[in-house]
Structure 1
Amino acid sequence: MTSFYFRVSFFFLMCWAISSSAIAQEKSILQINKADDLKGDETRGFERLLGSVEMKHKNSLIYCDSAHFYRTENKARLFGNVRIVDEVDPVTTTSRYAEYDGNTQLAKLRNNVVFTNNETTLTTNYLDYDRMGNIAYYYNKGKVVDSVNVLTSQRGTYEVNSERITFQEDVVLVNPDYTMKTNDLIYLTIPKTAETKGLTNLISKDGNTLDAQNGSFYDTQAKIFRFFDGVVESETSRIKAKELYYSELDAYYEGKENVSVLSKERQVEVFGDVGEYWEERKYSLVHGNALVRRYFESDTLYMAADSLISQDGEVDSMKYLLAFRSVKLVKTDLSSVADSLVYNYSDSSIQLFKDPVMWNQKSQISADSMIFYLANEQLERVYMKDKVFVITQDTIRNFNQMKGRSMVGYFLEGKMDKVDIEGNGESLYFALQADTISQGINKTLSATIKLRFKEGAIQRVTYGIKPDGKFTPFQLITEENSRLEGFDW
């Protein structure tokens, strides 16, 4: 029986010893490795360590000039040349003063704090370092420097295990090529990427600006940017988009949703659902609800299409705008539709292809293809080829008509002034009395026809050699004989 109680007692004693050892190990006591002098201070409840102090706590070695060691509380106050070195992680922290709690593993460092992890250095005056979570917090301004970037902010959190630093309030990131400003930024020190929230501003060394209303992502090594509700502006261009991607090395932009690309030199702005822009080539591609605005001093030319290509090269032959499918064009003095279009910046000419139709004042012009020129912001002349058909309305809304193989039209102050028709010319126009009463129709066939206009109405018609004409009086006019073949208003 005695032997049984002895064994039971021994068993509980061993359990208590193991438990006590585990608690002591979990608590992890601060240890004194060395000091030049050790003095007790029973009235204040701490021991004074003087000269070349070295302490140890778990994987941390702690150095300072002097310390107050609160043995029962497992805490220490450190003075002068404080240095905390991690024996496992490459982390070293220095300051003038610190407080270290062995129970919570929290170090509070103050005055000239330097926190170093590999190539990353954090400097501040107020740093709390949670050794258990391996997380450092700084307050009242801090600066982080690595091999590429310098980041400053009012507050920050450095998560050492994940190499993640969160910067808050008055954040500035500076590298050799850019300066970024925001209020919330997350920086990963290993891939050297920065992610921001909210309003973000970035200025390049060349003076280009990149702004985002709803945050951004920046790969500082690959020089790749993503901006949300972003605007990129240079001396020659401005690009906007709901989501904007930019590769600096490729000088390439890509935008999604509400895209706009403005060429400041040409005063041409392109809009669409998706857009791409190659900066060095000055080449852009926009598709999906594409729209172009060509800004003049006192007017604007609008053009809509499914897809748009804009090229603004060095030579004149490489300065153009292409529009594809369902093209619509509007300006104060003209409007037009076509399947496709080419706008040459060098001579302000606009070529329309595949069943184009153009309207000017009271005139409608159609052909297989046409090209018209702008001068001093107004329509100057137009060339048409194959199946040319011109319709104008007179003062009482009759349809005067002309057709031929090719035609040249001239405009004065934006209004049709004269038209020259070459090859298989036909004309049909209404003879009016006092511009109010229709007398009949003059229909003429001629190899060439020249027409002169006044206020958009035909004033004089001149025919070539041996024209074949016919007059139909008002009483005999029908819808059939009042239309040339191919008429389509």
Structure 2
Amino acid sequence: MNIKRLHRNITNQFASSFRVPEWLWKPLLLLFIIAAFLPGLQAQSGAPAGKSPTATQDTQKLKIETAQVIEYFKEGEREKQKLSGNVRMRQEDILVYCDTAIMFMDDAILIGNVVIEQGDSVKVFSDSTHYHADTKIADLYGNIALENGKQKLFTRQMRYDAGNKIAEYHTGAVMDNGKSQLKSKHGYYHVNEKMVFFKGDVVTTDPDFTMRTDTMTFNTETQTVNFVAPTLISQRDGKIYTEGGFYDIENNFAEFDLNPQYDKEGQRGRAEKMRYNGTSNVYTLQGDAYIDDPTKGQETKADVIFHMSDVDVTILKGNAFYKDSVREIYGEQIRYDNRNKNYQLLGRGKVIDGSNIIEADSLDFNDALGSGLAVGRVEWIDTAGDYTVLANRMDYNKKSEYLFAYGGFEDAENGRPMMKSLIDRDTLYMSADTLTSFKPDSIHDERILLAFRDVRIFKKDLQAVCDSLKFSSADSIFWFYPIDQKPLMWSDTSQFSADTMLMLMKNKQVDRIWLRQNAMVVNSEEGKLFNQIKGRTNTIFFRDSEAKEMLVEGNAQAIYYALDDKKAYVGVNETACSEMKLYFEDRKVQHIKFYEQPTWNFIPMSLAGKETKKLDGFFWEQLRRPRSIEDLLFRKIIQVNPEEVLDAEDGK
């Protein structure tokens, strides 16, 4: 109620009470109002300043304690009082101060510098107030301020229920706690419960953010804002939207739990629940968390996402997925350090980087250096080279395309790394103590594969062992090297040996095999009688994955057991020449050509004896032959069955 309205109300009351002519009561009223604002004017009734009659105090709920001037009026049986100058009144624990008070029955009109106090907790200031003593409700007008501790509420019109300590306003107000300001059209302030309800065009302004909503609650003790309606929080570098949650202003901690979303410098995020800890500057997205940054080509998903802004580290937990313009990462937990350009997979995960796919129990990769370490059941797939490496640990460098694998995929201590590749429409498996792959320079596309110590190869129709191996993608040649033992190769019932062996690949098929120095090919159907071909070098030519020709050069020698039409041995041929060429059909020798003064000798089986004839350097090795993929996996080859061992010994 403003002063003009108060003037009108008092005018009407006096006009109806005294029933005097208008020409008389208007001048009298004017004098009355002037007297009310003249300090030191004494009451015409003669009552002493600062005191009120005992009878009046006993009957009033709002008791007068002091006033400079007290005037009395009577309307029929009802008394009215006007108090002026340093007025102070009390009702139980409620103290009222003002410049002027008009009191009648249980009501009081308070004018000028009005203050209502309740203990040490609440002070309410206003220009004017209509106080209802029977209900302890005050209607305040003008420049209003409600103080409760650090909280200050400013408005132009408010109702305050002093009995229940509840304030309400409906014409707009501002609450200030010294740091933040909160505006709303409507509000209810429950002082005892320390809770404020804001409604209609709610705006919170803080040095760190601006918040807009329609409905909100605020706990003045915990300094906590609760969102119960669609809310938009704007910061310097982004916005947050939510339809429910809370914000702890004192501790700078927020939780948004109903359809929360955010947009920060083009980065968009959503989750079932979001949290922000301003003290540690950590953001948490929980439940179907998703972050998308089209400007950087990044996409992130996880059950929970943590982002530590101070160190620029992001952690993804549970069904984690990260994608950028270079790679895709899947895992149980992903940690990405944007400042140091380093990411980690903690728990089983997979990285797709161009043509390379790597899966491991844990992985640490430095983007700046291009180097990484994968540990635990490591699987590396090169889709461009069409090969896979399995190991326990793997070092690699993306820039130099270097890869070093060691330890077994399933057995880290006793196992060995293994490579597999599709050859001749079948998978070739290779293991060694260590496997290394790299590009010798950045100019050419050549890749080199090195296998060191105890190399073993298994394919259904081809097996091999050697001390070390090299493969170059430039010429597609496998080099088999000796260190302690000669390299060996087996195909079906044939064994190939030499000081050095080479195998040429074309279109994912074996095209040619070279046996260099002390080359020997041994063949036996039952492991007792052996066909043998020896020379300085042997070259086997393949077509459609089958051996078709063999060229033996330099001191060529052969022992060949002849069969009749019934597959019975009829004798043994011994041949020597400078060069010979063998032709195969259905994996069997069809005919042989001998060059440069060949010599031969045929011995019937009756004279040849039961023991096989042997060329110098003959040996028949079956213990080293891998017979399954399992024979490749461990440092000590799995032993064959006893019968095979006896058969092998008989053939020596």
In the superposition, the TM-score normalised over structure 1's length comes to 0.81
Q: Is 2:517 aligned against 1:386?
A: yes
Q: Is 2:277 aligned against 1:159?
A: yes
Q: Secondary structure at the match of 1:436?
A: coil
Match of 2:16 in 1: none
Deviation at 1:65, TM superposition (A): 4.6
Q: Is 2:217 aligned against 1:99?
A: yes
Match of 2:193 in 1: 73
Deviation at 1:360, TM superposition (A): 1.9
Deviations 1:35-75 (A, max 9, x none): 33343356986223566734344765544455322334333
Q: Secondary structure at the match of 2:318?
A: coil
Q: Is 2:288 aligned against 1:170?
A: yes
* Aligned-partner Cα distance in 1 for 2:217–2:586: 92
Q: Is 2:354 aligned against 1:238?
A: no
Partners of 2:314 and 2:335 within 8 A in 1: yes
Deviation at 1:330, TM superposition (A): 2.5
Match of 1:264 in 2: 383
Q: Which moves more between the two structures, 363-372 or 40-49? A: 40-49
Kindly name which structure, 1 or 2, has the bigger radius of gyration based on alpha carbons.
2
Amino acid at match of 2:463: S
Deviation at 1:403, TM superposition (A): 1.6
Match of 1:126 in 2: 244
* Aligned-partner Cα distance in 2 for 1:411–1:130: 78
1:164-243 paired onto structure 2 within 5 Å: 164-175=282-293, 176-205=296-325, 208-212=327-331, 214-227=332-345, 228-234=347-353, 236-243=355-362
Q: Return the match for 2:430 from 297, 303, 320.
A: 303
Partners of 1:365 and 1:390 within 8 A in 2: yes
Partners of 1:333 and 1:361 within 8 A in 2: yes
Q: Return the match for 2:546 from 394, 415, 419.
A: 415
Deviation at 1:118, TM superposition (A): 7.1
Q: Secondary structure at the match of 1:197?
A: strand
Q: Which has the higher strand share?
A: 1
Flag the 1:75–1:465 CA change in 2: closer, same or farther, 3 A. Answer: closer
Deviation at 1:345, TM superposition (A): 3.2
Deviations 1:91-124 (A, max 9, x none): 6655443212223433213445344677575332
* Aligned-partner Cα distance in 1 for 2:508–2:310: 56
Partners of 2:194 and 2:221 within 8 A in 1: yes
Q: Secondary structure at the match of 1:215?
A: strand
Partners of 1:333 and 1:415 within 8 A in 2: no
Match of 2:466 in 1: 338
Match of 2:156 in 1: 36
Partners of 1:299 and 1:377 within 8 A in 2: no
* Aligned-partner Cα distance in 2 for 1:434–1:201: 67
* Aligned-partner Cα distance in 2 for 1:249–1:487: 56
* Aligned-partner Cα distance in 2 for 1:436–1:50: 112
Deviation at 1:294, TM superposition (A): 1.6
Partners of 1:150 and 1:173 within 8 A in 2: yes
Amino-acid identity (%): 22
Partners of 2:261 and 2:268 within 8 A in 1: yes
Deviation at 1:263, TM superposition (A): 2.1
Q: Secondary structure at the match of 1:422?
A: strand
Partners of 2:424 and 2:545 within 8 A in 1: no
Flag the 1:51–1:250 CA change in 2: closer, same or farther, 3 A. Answer: farther
Match of 1:136 in 2: 254
* Aligned-partner Cα distance in 1 for 2:465–2:604: 36
Flag the 1:49–1:352 CA change in 2: closer, same or farther, 3 A. Answer: same
Partners of 2:245 and 2:258 within 8 A in 1: no
Partners of 1:360 and 1:416 within 8 A in 2: no
Partners of 1:357 and 1:367 within 8 A in 2: yes
Amino acid at match of 2:554: G
Deviations 1:403-425 (A, max 9, x none): 22112122344333332222232
Deviation at 1:245, TM superposition (A): 3.1
Amino acid at match of 1:180: T
Q: Return the match for 1:319 from 423, 432, 447.
A: 447
* Aligned-partner Cα distance in 2 for 1:67–1:411: 91
Flag the 1:376–1:85 CA change in 2: closer, same or farther, 3 A. Answer: closer
Deviations 1:228-274 (A, max 9, x none): 32222255232222223344444444322222222222322222212
Gaps of 5+ in 1: 1-22
Flag the 1:435–1:65 CA change in 2: closer, same or farther, 3 A. Answer: same
Deviation at 1:303, TM superposition (A): 1.8
Partners of 1:287 and 1:308 within 8 A in 2: yes
Partners of 1:363 and 1:456 within 8 A in 2: no
Q: Secondary structure at the match of 1:199?
A: strand
* Aligned-partner Cα distance in 2 for 1:439–1:296: 39
Q: Secondary structure at the match of 1:198?
A: strand
Q: Secondary structure at the match of 1:265?
A: coil
Amino acid at match of 1:197: K
* Aligned-partner Cα distance in 2 for 1:335–1:168: 53
Amino acid at match of 2:456: K
Gaps of 5+ in 2: 1-119, 123-147, 408-415, 621-652
Tell me how many residue pairs correspond in the alignment. 461
Deviations 1:193-222 (A, max 9, x none): 22122112223236x43222x121122444
Partners of 1:316 and 1:346 within 8 A in 2: no
Q: Secondary structure at the match of 1:318?
A: coil
In the superposition, the TM-score normalised over structure 2's length comes to 0.63
Match of 1:48 in 2: 168
Flag the 1:100–1:481 CA change in 2: closer, same or farther, 3 A. Answer: closer
Deviations 1:120-149 (A, max 9, x none): 753323231234554211121223455684
Deviation at 1:475, TM superposition (A): 4.3
CA RMSD of aligned residues (A): 3.4
1:275-286 paired onto structure 2 within 5 Å: 275-286=394-405
Deviations 1:143-194 (A, max 9, x none): 3455684432121222222222221122112232311012212221222222
